Amino acid sequence: MQQARDHGGGVDAALARWGGARSDWIDLSTGINPVPYPVGRVSDMAWTALPDAGAEARLIAAARTFWRVPEGVEIVAAPGASAIIAALPGLWRLGRVDVPGPTYNEHEAAFRAGGWEIGPGGEARVIVHPNNPDGRLWSADALTAPRMVIDESFCDVAPGHSLVGAAGPGRIVLKSFGKFWGLAGLRLGFAIGAPEEMARLRARLGPWAVSGLALEIGARALEDRAWAEATRQRLAADAARLDGLMAAHGVLVGGTDLFRLYEVVDAAAFQDRLGRAHVLSRIFPYSDHWLRLGLPGPEGWARLEAVL
């Protein structure tokens, strides 16, 4: 918030540029699942009380099972993966960090703000796995630096590729709740790593970092394997459907089942055309041709088909 860096999700800015009411817009500028995990009933205590250790323990246990976190490795819950990304550069002694790009720009920004040099061959390396925006998958061969950040924010659509088994001293894996479970407003993310590094991360976040709502809903969602499996199947089908719609307009560069990256003739013109129809897409300051689209919800397909 109040950041100058380029991100998706700026519906307010889109309203200012292309008009319309907020409820008219279909926001395809992020990689957030448009069919969220059903929030259901939340206890009064989740709203009113300081988040309790028992609720956190249930969430962490659910996360450990869901992501098959290895023994001896700890999990820290945070108010969004962004809070962890902002804190990571302070966990390690200053050095040089390699952030192979193009990728999600908060990693480099956070290390730079923390006084790190940016470039290959240094003490630390960040890989976004699968990568945003092109969906590139990495293997364990990419874990070349003594300090590794493996950002698996979009890996829950492809859990077989997870590198969580590599988490340990100097290797921190990040997980995001908001994207796959479609509750980005709730703010919940996780770091998985060695106990000593996780203790320092916890100290940087302070006590009661995660809301009682996120503890309760997050635990319920991570325990719900059937929802996750059905969601993976739906997202895969919807990604294929979007590729079908876009086939006439561009070439698929890559992506995940939460967002697709296409090469089009003129990305800015394409974004403008969609924007005038109140469909928000994502383009990138470093490319004239890349257009990224998230998936519409069930009620959005007809509009999108009419526009494309």
- Residues of this chain that interact with its own copies (CB under 8 A) are 1-3, 5, 7-13, 22, 27, 30, 32, 34, 36, 39, 45-54, 56, 77, 79-80, 82-87, 90, 106, 110, 113, 178, 182-187, 202-214
Reference 179, options 11, 36, 3; nearest CA is 36
**Cα 209–Cα 211–Cα 216 angle in degrees, nearest 5:** 125
Task: Considering the complex, state which of residue 58 and residue 260 has its C-beta at the smaller distance from its own copies.
Answer: 58
- As to burial, measured by CB atoms within 10 angstroms (0-12 exposed, 13-18 middle, 19+ buried), residue 295 is buried
Q: How many CA atoms lie within 13 A of 154 on its CB side?
A: 26
| Helix-helix angle 53-66:212-222, to 10 degrees | 30
Reference 30, options 125, 89, 84, 104; nearest CA is 104
Task: Considering the complex, state which of residue 39 and residue 251 has its C-beta at the smaller distance from its own copies.
Answer: 39
Task: Considering the complex, state which of residue 214 and residue 253 has its C-beta at the smaller distance from its own copies.
Answer: 214
Reference 178, options 18, 33, 22; nearest CA is 33
Other CB atoms within 10 Å distance of the CB of residue 55:
20
Question: What is the nearest approach in angstroms of its own copies to the Cβ of residue 89?
Answer: 10
Task: Considering the complex, state which of residue 36 and residue 250 has its C-beta at the smaller distance from its own copies.
Answer: 36
What tokens does 240 get? Answer: 């294929």
Question: What is the nearest approach in angstroms of its own copies to the Cβ of residue 3?
Answer: 5
Task: Considering the complex, state which of residue 181 and residue 270 has its C-beta at the smaller distance from its own copies.
Answer: 181
Task: Considering the complex, state which of residue 106 and residue 152 has its C-beta at the smaller distance from its own copies.
Answer: 106
Question: What is the nearest approach in angstroms of its own copies to the Cβ of residue 217?
Answer: 9
Q: How many CA atoms lie within 13 A of 235 on its CB side?
A: 28
Question: What is the nearest approach in angstroms of its own copies to the Cβ of residue 97?
Answer: 16
The answer to whether 294 and 259 have CB atoms below 8 angstroms apart is yes
Task: Considering the complex, state which of residue 204 and residue 232 has its C-beta at the smaller distance from its own copies.
Answer: 204
The answer to whether 68 and 164 have CB atoms below 8 angstroms apart is yes
Strand, coil or helix: 152: coil
Question: What is the nearest approach in angstroms of its own copies to the Cβ of residue 93?
Answer: 13
Round to whole Å and give the CA distance between 132 and 148: 17
Strand, coil or helix: 260: strand
Question: What is the nearest approach in angstroms of its own copies to the Cβ of residue 226?
Answer: 21
Provide the pairing of β-strand 259-263 with 290-294.
Answer: antiparallel
The answer to whether 108 and 99 have CB atoms below 8 angstroms apart is yes
Question: What is the nearest approach in angstroms of its own copies to the Cβ of residue 64?
Answer: 14
Task: Considering the complex, state which of residue 201 and residue 253 has its C-beta at the smaller distance from its own copies.
Answer: 201
Question: What is the nearest approach in angstroms of its own copies to the Cβ of residue 60?
Answer: 9
